[in-house]
Amino acid sequence: MTPLIEIHHVDVKGGDGTVILVKDQDAAGAVVFSVLIDAGVARGGLRLKQYVAGLGLTNPFDVLIASHYHDDHMAGIVPCDFNFKQLVDIGGYTSTAEPTRFDPVNGTGLGNSTPTYIGLYRRYVAGRMAGGSTRLPIPFLDKANWTATESGALLPNAVKMTPLEIPLGASGITLRCYCAGGVVPIGTADAAQNVAKVQKDGKGRALDPNDLSLAWLLQWGDFSYLTSGDLSGDPDKTAYYFLEKALLDALTGTGGPLAGKTLTVLKAPHHGSERSTYDKIDDTTPGFLARLQPDAIIVSCNTSKQVPHPAFLQRVTDHCAGRAKKPAVLFVSDMYYAPSSDRTPLVAGLAAAGVTPAENVVTEADGSVQNLATSALVVKRYAGGALPAEAQPAADATVFRDGYRIQILTGRVTKDSKEVVARGVNYVWKFAIPASFATSIRLGFQALAADMIKWRTADGTADPAPGLDYIRACYPAIGLLLGADPTTTAAAIITQLQGYFDAQYTLASPTAPNYSVGSDSDRSLTMDERETLYNALVRNRYQFLLNSRVNPNFMRLASVAEWNPVTADPHYVPPPPPPQGTTSRKRKALAISNL
């Protein structure tokens, strides 16, 4: 067996979704082991499902990992509806399919309420386990391996205080969990390994699910990859606790797997928040990046939650400036910052310095920055670190590093002989037209245009204006139109969208309800116009519902020959405009959630 590993960081529209595949080059690249870590928000999970289908992965995942119990990491697991052989999460719930409940020593951090997505997740897990899936427990996290003393301290069973190790088949590649549920095991009987409890006893604040995130180190020879969910790195413990330092002590300290080594690839914790990837504490306590010295950093963005944060971007900038060999810094999941944003010059600076490739982050003519075309970032490592030219698949760009590569996959609209197809590199959306343009696609454009006018009206003269910012980010050509003429009507927006569609597609025949497009090299639309059309066909929720009605297998809904979102769709709920008077962060989140 000659192994190849691929780590797919998928655009799940906020949150995280990571697919790890081990392939055998001697068997035509057949997948021999697969891992899924998180699946994003619910709608991101549907996107992930399409992406995985494009990979041709038909077998169950060997391991499914839920890093922690937050919706932007696990709500998408249920819509994906993947089969899996083994599950790793922090437990804390009763399942009829498990004879013994797995209880984590520090609880689940959920507080007194159980969100709907948690209930759905638990039922999903129970169903899979009833079908033969099993739990892979984390011994150092198991409450049964900790003994309470009269003083209230918890003493661990030293034998159980070792990382959970998962061999990825017979490849020689290992995945080890070095932190879970607030515990960082170091193989002793020291109560301090329960880092979260020690810090909580001193602070008194409840644990957040982020504090309880699972941290995993993948190793294969001199290649290493670290992913840690939303693990907290808050030295002041003002919003979260401070788990990152204990994790790095275990990884880089004497006898640790990274002692005397540098990290190859880091997936930035907590999407690059201000309270992760901690800065140096004093002159004798270096910061997170200085200790790991990653060769590449992958940042999973979430514009609605305003991450990555300027503090994180500044730390990355400073770290890169201090190194002769610059790391590669790449961004996945939607990121858009207007010219006035305090993040914009920092992201643009990374791009200008060549740290972030132009194929990943674009600085627009108006000064804004965005990565909206990126659908996935794929880290690939071949046996021995060799990078055979013949193994290079189609990709929009490739960043070559020492012994591995990172492929930047982007989305685009291309042709199909029978149907309108919006195609990303590894996922395909097809729009078979049920009747005519006027009674199908145009309805989606109408509903989308009406929403754009509502967002603009709700924004008023507010600064920032989240509705307009979202339009500029996802529908840049319409953003330019609204910017040039603030009185633009919904009818004018519809005309513009239909114009883009007509420029790209033609009716196959007067009787055949299908559209086709010319060759990829024959494109009359600008990049902004193509991005606008792509999102108007794929990401606007009205077209999404239309597609589900035309193709009932996609969301398992009854087929409807003619679809009107207002009169014919029982699921249609007109989104309210973002209310005035709320904070900009809440308004922006509401505006985007209405899509």
Q: Within a domain: residue 123?
A: no
β-bridge pairing 84-88 and 515-516: unpaired
Give the residue numbers spanning the domain of 426. Answer: 420-593
In 3-state terms, what secondary structure has residue 303?
helix
Q: Within a domain: residue 505?
A: yes
In 3-state terms, what secondary structure has residue 336?
strand
Separation of alpha carbons 290 and 302, rounded Å: 25
Q: Within a domain: residue 336?
A: no
Q: Within a domain: residue 80?
A: no
Q: Within a domain: residue 143?
A: no
Please give the pLDDT value at position 407. 92
Please give the pLDDT value at position 410. 74
Q: Which residue in this structure is represented by tokens 């010219």?
A: 339
Q: Which of 431, 427, 428, 405 is nearest to 418 (CA)?
A: 431
Q: Say if CB 301 and CB 344 are below 8 A apart.
A: no
Q: Within a domain: residue 302?
A: no
Q: Say if CB 413 and CB 534 are below 8 A apart.
A: yes
Q: Within a domain: residue 278?
A: no
Residue 91, amino acid:
G
- Taken as a whole, the chain contains a residue count of 595
Residue 155: phi and psi, rounded to 5, are: -110, 130
β-bridge pairing 265-267 and 296-300: parallel
Please give the pLDDT value at position 364. 78
Separation of alpha carbons 305 and 276, rounded Å: 15
Cα torsion for 176, 292, 308, 200, to the nearest 10°? 70
pLDDT in tens, the chain (595 residues): 999 999 999 988 778 999 999 999 999 899 999 999 999 877 677 778 878 887 888 889 999 999 999 988 998 898 888 999 999 999 999 887 888 899 999 999 976 456 778 888 999 999 999 999 999 999 999 999 999 988 888 999 999 999 999 999 999 999 999 999 999 999 999 999 999 999 999 888 899 999 999 999 999 999 999 999 999 999 999 999 999 999 999 999 999 999 999 999 999 999 999 999 999 998 888 999 999 999 999 999 976 677 999 999 999 999 999 788 999 999 998 787 877 788 999 999 999 999 999 889 988 777 888 887 788 999 999 998 877 764 445 567 889 999 999 999 875 433 232 233 333 322 333 444 444 555 567 778 888 898 888 888 877 766 666 677 778 767 878 988 888 888 999 999 999 998 888 777 655 544 444 444 444 434 467 667 776 887 787 666 566 555 444 433 332 223 333 333 344 333 333 333 333 333 332 222 222 222 2
Q: Which of 496, 513, 509, 510 is nearest to 431 (CA)?
A: 513
Separation of alpha carbons 36 and 21, rounded Å: 9
Please give the pLDDT value at position 92. 93
Q: Which residue in this structure is represented by tokens 């699972």?
A: 214
Q: Within a domain: residue 401?
A: no
| CA dihedral over 113, 118, 123, 129, signed as positive or negative | negative
Please give the pLDDT value at position 543. 63
Q: Which of 140, 148, 226, 217 is nearest to 182 (CA)?
A: 140
**Ranges assigned E (strand) in 78-190:** 84-88, 134-135, 146-148, 154-156, 164-167, 174-179
Residue 9: phi and psi, rounded to 5, are: -100, 105
Helix axes 441-459, 541-550, angle to 10 degrees: 160
Question: Which helix (H) or strand (E) is 490 found in, with range?
Answer: helix 490-504
Separation of alpha carbons 239 and 282, rounded Å: 21
Q: Indicate the number of domains in the chain.
A: 1
Give 108's DSSP letter: -
DSSP per-residue codes, 190-206: -GGG-HHHHHHHHH-PP
Q: Which of 413, 360, 421, 387 is nearest to 530 (CA)?
A: 413
Please give the pLDDT value at position 480. 86
Residue 100, amino acid:
T
